[in-house]
Amino acid sequence: MANQQHLELLRQGGANSWNTWRRSHPATIPELHGADLSDADLGNYNLSGADLSEANLHRANLRASQLLGAIVIGANLTNADLSGSI
């Protein structure tokens, strides 16, 4: 089950707030297991190392509006629904 604090940070603050939090807490692994992130705009979010196992990422936007896009290096995407994601 997703950590509610992590999920709220992801949903409410935008990419800049999320990425600032990630830099301030480098040892924290975002726990987003099973989270419903369908249709979410996750471009420019640093999701490296996050537990996104069994997360619903259906139609999620992982493309960047700037240079890189979502960073998912080392993220756990086991059984995540990525159907329709870009």
Cut 0.75: pTM above it: yes
pLDDT at 25: 96
Identify which has the larger pLDDT, 85 or 17.
17
Summarised one tens digit per residue, pLDDT across range 8-48 is: 999 998 999 999 999 999 999 999 999 999 999 998 899 99
- How are the residues of the chain apportioned to helix, strand and coil, as percentages rounded to the nearest 5? 25, 10, 65
Number of H helices, E strands in the chain: 2, 0
Dig out the tokens for 69 from the structure: 């896009």
What residue segments make up the domains of the chain, in order of their start?
Answer: 1-86
d(CA 70, CA 12): 17
